Amino acid sequence: MILLGGDMAGELPLNDRGENIVRIGHSPDPDDAFMFHAMTTNAFETPGYDFVHELQDIETLNHRAMRKELEVSAVSIHAYPEISENYALMNCGASMGEGYGPMIVAKQGVSEEEAKSSPIAVPGLKTSAYLGIRLCWGDLQYEVVPFDEIIPRILDDTYKSGLIIHEGQLTYVDHDLNVLANLGIWWNEKTGGLPMPLGGNVVRRDLGQQMMEDITMYTKMSIEHSIANPDTALEFAKKWGRGIDDDTNREFVTMYVNERTIDYKKEGRDSIRLFLKEGQKIGLISKDFDVDSLKFIGAPEDS
């Protein structure tokens, strides 16, 4: 039996069936679409809950979470400390690079030194990719460009290099671009094999512990349902792939939706804590944030 509300501080609006309406913000990308396919299409029952999906780019979702607008949201791990007072991290729904991740790319013939001497296009200052490039390349010139315009702006010579995320990590080869740095490989080597933490799902604390656990459970069930029924979920996810073909869609989704998406596992949780501590060292994350006390909804108590 699902217990509704728990110690919830406030009431959620109800639909005409008397169910709590919960808004979920996530990005319009194949991996998120795959993850939330079952919840979006009501593939299984969620007694007491009506999930409404709002699709926006990750940087917009980061800032909406800072304003406490949504009950549930995908966010960048980099942005989490700023919203941690109001949101808890789920132990499912992570996007982690297992030896791969955001890439710094440029046209053939552009050296790393040339790229570092010019402004670098990045997808947002609160993205985990930006924290990653700052940890890897340091404090250089960075300019924010919408993530899906970064490759075109490199091709038209507006920027010598750019930091690519989402399916750009696969489609850059179609434009004959060169990889100057793969942040997922860099992080993996730096940490002795840990996955690079990029995105996570958060749930608002004022819903109360029981409701946070319920919503986390349904999110995990949605991920498990899609992994168990990949063909239908992949077809759904392809709609958000900005023209990618079936093979690219499948490759991208399986990069970021896997067993660690169901459960971060100890290595994933350790990597998130280390990533945030490294961010504190370079001043991008407040030293007031107590990384060691970070807890994950749905994780074992001692982890």
**Pair (220, 90) in one structural domain:** yes
Per-residue confidence (pLDDT) for residue 3, from 0 to 100:
34
d(C-alpha 53, C-alpha 36), whole Å: 9
**Pick from 137, 169, 190: which residue ends a domain?**
190
**Pair (85, 143) in one structural domain:** no
Which residue's structure tokens are 């980061």?
62
Q: What CATH number corresponds to the domain at position 290?
A: 3.40.190.10
Domain membership of residue 48 (yes or no) is yes
User: Positive or negative, the Cα torsion across 298, 203, 227, 269?
Assistant: negative
**Pair (151, 209) in one structural domain:** no
Domain membership of residue 173 (yes or no) is yes
**Residue 89 dihedral angles phi and psi, to the nearest 5°:** -80, 135
d(C-alpha 237, C-alpha 231), whole Å: 10
pTM of the complete model beyond 0.85:
yes
- Residue 274, both tokens: 């280390």
**Pair (180, 289) in one structural domain:** no
> What SS3 state is found at 144?
strand
**Pair (213, 290) in one structural domain:** yes
**Pair (38, 147) in one structural domain:** no
Per-residue confidence (pLDDT) for residue 240, from 0 to 100:
59
**Pick from 190, 212, 240: which residue ends a domain?**
190
**Pair (74, 216) in one structural domain:** yes
Per-residue confidence (pLDDT) for residue 6, from 0 to 100:
36
The range of the structural domain enclosing residue 135 comes to 103-190
By CB atoms closer than 10 A (0-12, 13-18, 19+), residue 53 is: middle
**Pick from 160, 190, 220: which residue ends a domain?**
190
Count the domains in the chain. 2
**Pair (182, 129) in one structural domain:** yes
Please give the single-letter amino acid code of residue 289: F
**Pair (245, 212) in one structural domain:** yes
Domain membership of residue 221 (yes or no) is yes
Structure letter (DSSP) for residue 97: E
**Pair (88, 156) in one structural domain:** no
**Pair (171, 221) in one structural domain:** no
Domain membership of residue 14 (yes or no) is no
d(C-alpha 193, C-alpha 52), whole Å: 37
Domain membership of residue 303 (yes or no) is no
Within the chain, which residues score under 50 in pLDDT?
1-9
Indicate the angle between helix axes 128-137 and 183-190, nearest 10 degrees.
60
Domain membership of residue 31 (yes or no) is yes
pLDDT tens string 241-267:
566 677 877 887 888 788 899 999 999
**Pair (282, 201) in one structural domain:** yes
pLDDT tens string 132-153:
999 999 999 999 999 889 999 9
Contacts of 130 (CB under 8 A, 6+ apart): 78, 122, 123, 124, 142, 163
